[in-house]
Copies of this chain bind each other. A is one copy, B any other.
Amino acid sequence: MTDKIDLEKIAKKDHKAKLKLKEKEEAYYPQKIAESGLKTIIRFVKYCPNPSKYMKMNITFAHRDLEMIAEAIANKQTWAVISGLNPSGPLHFGHKAIFDELLWMQKQGADLFIPLTNDESFVVGKTKSLAESRKIAYEQVIPSIIAMGFDPEKTNIFVDSDYPSIYNVAMDLSDKLTLNKALKVFGFNERTDTENPGTLFYRAAVQLAQILLPQYAEFGGKKPTLVPVGIDQHPYILLARDVAERKGFIPPAELITKFLWGFDGKGKMASSRQDSAIFLTDPPEKAERILKRAYTGGSPIARFQKEHGGVPEICPIESIRRYHFEQDNHVAEQCASGAMLCGECKKYGIEEVTDWLSDHQKRLPEARKNIEKFILNKPIKSILE
């Protein structure tokens, strides 16, 4: 009897903690929207003729100036999307979510710019050399991006160290921003002993150069642009909008997607916590192992879960299935009602994830052959002549 009572107690305590986490999670994003002056996506979805799956499911949940992009789409105007990442390891399903959104944008006519910031990886200490992060970019990141199905005609990938124009553009933008403002926005004043001149220049000039690059003459001059970011990068976009204006460009629009939960139950999926992530190059067997032992929104006691239901809002299994394999919220509903327990849900999740990985990895050899078709090498001469 004692055993049974203790288990019941544990299950109750666990459930309560998960509900609390859910509450915190549900308060987090609306609060961020309120603080930042962004708009929720809901109204946009109502009026947009063809919103993305992520928008419809409120995974892409906030924006600024997305109306400008909708107008460009409606008028068949040229527009561009900039979405970079620092190559310090293979892509994981959190990245895939962003790239899925980019695929939707490309279908709406966007020219994609994908800077792979090996200089950032190095100066922030994620890799030991420029060479290491450059190698990761070509060997691990670019093939996975290509294998996701982008159109080479409308996709411009570049590795910072191999696209020297990005530094000329960074220098060209440098005088539009004071050192004071840069130090403040990136919180560098408090970290001058750990940051270096490269991180400051990367954040306050190279990053802006990437964002504003599509508006230089070589790409047809000023145009509507969109930057998908995490909510923590919102201040950088404000800075980019400010610099855009000083430069006579159109301030870029901003689109914000919620983070995917990590499998370790300790926050968002992140390369730095290996147990949190499934990488797109992971062998399916490894993915299966990670999913099997993953943290969930369920209960340690089946009977309890059947009665009280799980907490899908904080479950990495529900989240990977919803982001990547489902078109609606039926998984969450079945979980919350107690109709589907974690074992069954994980079984479906494992099937979906391992199938996807196998397919994706089969496409990698062909993708590797096509790298050159995707690499941007147009020099920016307009600022030098």
Let me know if B161 and A180 touch, CB within 8 A.
no
- Which of B175, B191, B383 is within 8 Å of A196, CB to CB? B175
Let me know if B172 and A196 touch, CB within 8 A.
no
A294 contacts B by Cβ under 8 Å: no
- Which of B125, B174, B191, B193 is within 8 Å of A199, CB to CB? B174
Let me know if B196 and A177 touch, CB within 8 A.
yes
Q: Which residues of B contact A385 (CB under 8 A)?
A: 131
Q: A131-B384, A175-B123 are in contact. Are A197 and B168 (CB under 8 A)?
A: no
A194 contacts B by Cβ under 8 Å: yes
Let me know if A179 and B200 touch, CB within 8 A.
yes
Let me know if B172 and A199 touch, CB within 8 A.
no
Q: Which residues of B contact A134 (CB under 8 A)?
A: 384
Q: Which residues of B contact A192 (CB under 8 A)?
A: 178-180, 183
Give complex CA distance A164, B168 in Å.
8
A167 contacts B by Cβ under 8 Å: yes
Q: A130-B384, A131-B384, A384-B130 are in contact. Are A194 and B171 (CB under 8 A)?
A: no
Q: Which residues of B contact A119 (CB under 8 A)?
A: 171
Chain B's nearest CB lies how many Å from the CB of A115? 14
Let me know if B196 and A188 touch, CB within 8 A.
no
Q: Which residues of B contact A26 (CB under 8 A)?
A: none
A11 contacts B by Cβ under 8 Å: no
A263 contacts B by Cβ under 8 Å: no
Let me know if B171 and A384 touch, CB within 8 A.
no
CB-contacts of A109-138 with B (<8 A): 119, 122-123, 125, 129-131, 134
A25 contacts B by Cβ under 8 Å: no
Give complex CA distance A26, B130 in Å.
49
A326 contacts B by Cβ under 8 Å: no
Let me know if A383 and B129 touch, CB within 8 A.
yes
A201 contacts B by Cβ under 8 Å: yes
Let me know if A161 and B384 touch, CB within 8 A.
yes
Q: A119-B171, A164-B164, A171-B123 are in contact. Are A383 and B131 (CB under 8 A)?
A: yes
A162 contacts B by Cβ under 8 Å: yes
A103 contacts B by Cβ under 8 Å: no
Let me know if B180 and A130 touch, CB within 8 A.
no
- Which of B125, B131, B188, B383 is within 8 Å of A179, CB to CB? B188
A290 contacts B by Cβ under 8 Å: no
Q: Which residues of B contact A372 (CB under 8 A)?
A: none
CB-contacts of A182-227 with B (<8 A): 182-183, 188, 191-201, 204-205
- Given A130-B383, A179-B193, A197-B200, 4 other A-B residues pairs in contact with their CB atoms under 8 A: A125-B175, A131-B383, A164-B164, A177-B196
4 closest A-B pairs by beta carbon, nearest first, are A174-B198, A164-B164, A201-B201, A180-B192
Q: List 29 A-B contacts (CB under 8 A).
A: A122-B171, A123-B171, A123-B174, A123-B175, A129-B172, A129-B383, A130-B168, A130-B171, A130-B384, A131-B383, A131-B384, A131-B385, A161-B171, A162-B384, A164-B165, A167-B167, A175-B196, A175-B198, A176-B196, A177-B196, A178-B196, A179-B191, A179-B196, A179-B197, A179-B199, A179-B200, A197-B200, A198-B205, A200-B200
Residue numbers of A with Cβ under 8 A of B are 119, 122-123, 125, 129-131, 134, 161-162, 164-165, 167-168, 170-172, 174-180, 182-183, 188, 191-201, 204-205, 383-385
